[in-house]
Amino acid sequence: MTEQTAGSIPRRPNKLIGMLKGVALIRESVVGMVGMGLILFWVIVAILAPILAPYDPLVQMTPFATPFTKAPEEFGGTFWLGTDHLGRDILSRIIFGAQRVLIYAPLATFCAYAVGIAMGLAAGYKRGWVDDVLSRIGDIILSFPILVLYVVIITTFGASGINIILAVTFASGPGIMRIVRGLVLDLRNRDYVAAAQTRGESAWYIMFAEILPNARGPLIVDACLRLGYTTITIGVLGFLGLGLPPPDPDWGGMINETRAMATFAPHMTIFPCLAISSLVLGLNLLADGLREVSLKD
């Protein structure tokens, strides 16, 4: 044990490799791999949207074309998934819609996490009146029907990307706070926290350096799930006409615009629905996989 006391320290192992190794563990879970595959599929689609999309998503061509219909001469190609009531190519709209979802859903979830973590850390670590006040605020928000909350926020401030982020942050922040608070209540009693206290560390340092990094496991799993919920939320908002303003392609909006015609042109509704569910399913499966891998030894 004492052979190596002299000499300098060997080189630090590469951090990036360490992280990749962590990610690679997901390979041990079939479910996680399927989820990861679905998510990666949509990420790649979103990134390569301008290359992959056969048409401009806003251009109006033949309305109500069914899947596999040949496009008119001047546009060329095939409408693989058909067109909607305004003659826009559904495949192209779904591909560009992926971009919107994959920008706004993570952004909104991230903001909700920032707020939830800050509140949860403060409530769990400080306890006392801070905890009482923050927890009661959270309870009040959570006791509201969530959909009503969205409608109120969006109708008050108008439908825009920023307001969707605000609405999601406001509505899911308290839920995240509860999770973080619970984790902090456990972690704050660890000896390493006491050690930090006895050397006079500030509350900020203890919360962010000693406690938060050790809560990351359950939080990452929860973040995956919550990303799925946010995707649904954005879809729902679009469906209610409160989402991203038209004519930009938005999965929820696409369902909303075409639902009345679903009886005779179901392809216009079904494909955006499939897009949303496959992405949400991917996120849920990834969360399950992460949990499974983290419980294994």
Partner 1 sequence: MVRDAASLANQPPVLEINDLNISYFTRAGEIPAVIDFSLTVRQGEAVGLVGESGCGKSTVANAIMRYLGNNGRIVGGTVKFKGRDMAELSEEELRQLRGSEIAMVYQEPMAALNPSLTIANQLIEVPLYHETDCTPEEAYQRAIDMLANVRLPDPERVMGAYPHQISGGQQQRVVIAMALLSNPALLLLDEPTTALDVTVEAGIVELIAELSEKFGTSMLYISHNLGLILETCNRVCVMYSGEAHEEGDIRALFDRPRHPYTHGLFGCIATPGTDKNAKPLTPIRGQLPLPHERPDGCNFGPRCDFFDKEQCGHGLIHMREVNPADNHRVRCARWDEIDWSTYEVKSDTREPLVPGEVVLDSDEMQKYYPVYDRSIAAMISGRSVRYVKANEELSFIARKRQTVAIVGESGCGKSTFAKVLMGLETATGGALTFEGADVSRQPVQKRSARQLGSLQMVFQNPNDTLNPSMTIGRQIARVIRKFRVESNADLVEERVLRLLDLVKLPRDFARRRPRQLSGGQKQRVGIARAFAGNPAMVVADEPVSALDVSVQAAVTGLLMDIQREYDTTLLFISHDLGVVRYLADRVVVMYLGQIMEQGQTEEVFAPPYHPYTEALLSAVPIADPNIEKKRIILEGQLPSVLNPPQGCPFHTRCPRKLGNICEQTPPPAVEDTEGHIIRCHIPLDELRAVEPVIRTAAE
Tokens representing residue 22 in the block: 């962590």
CB nearer to partner 1: give 66 or 197.
Answer: 197
Task: Report phi then psi at 215, rounded to 5.
Answer: -95, 0
Amino acid 141 reads I
Place of tokens 């008119």: 72
Question: Does residue number 27 form part of the binding site for partner 1 (CB under 8 A)?
Answer: no
Cβ at position 209, least distance to partner 1 in Å: 8
Q: For residues 231 and 103, is the Cβ–Cβ distance under 8 A?
A: no
Interface pattern 192-211 for partner 1 (x via CB under 8 A):
x-xx-xxxxx-------xx-
Question: Does residue number 191 form part of the binding site for partner 1 (CB under 8 A)?
Answer: yes
Question: Does residue number 69 form part of the binding site for partner 1 (CB under 8 A)?
Answer: no
**In the chain, what is the greatest distance between 2 CA atoms, to the nearest angstrom?**
80
Exactly one of 190, 204, 259, 274 binds partner 1 (CB under 8 A); that residue is: 190
CB nearer to partner 1: give 9 or 148.
Answer: 9
How many residues sit close enough to partner 1 to count as binding (CB under 8 A)? 30
CB nearer to partner 1: give 189 or 263.
Answer: 189
Please give the sequence-ordered ranges of beta strands (E in DSSP) within 78-160, or none if there are none.
78-79
Cβ at position 15, least distance to partner 1 in Å: 11
How far is 95 from 1, CA to CA, in rounded Å? 58
Question: Does residue number 10 form part of the binding site for partner 1 (CB under 8 A)?
Answer: yes
Q: For residues 30 and 41, is the Cβ–Cβ distance under 8 A?
A: no
CB nearer to partner 1: give 108 or 196.
Answer: 196
Closest CA to 180 of 149, 138, 233: 138
Q: How many CB atoms lie within 10 A of CB 215?
A: 20
Closest CA to 226 of 99, 110, 104, 145: 110
Cβ at position 36, least distance to partner 1 in Å: 19
Exactly one of 37, 72, 77, 213 binds partner 1 (CB under 8 A); that residue is: 213
Chain residues binding partner 1 by CB under 8 A are 1-10, 12-13, 28, 190-192, 194-195, 197-201, 209-210, 213-214, 216, 296-297
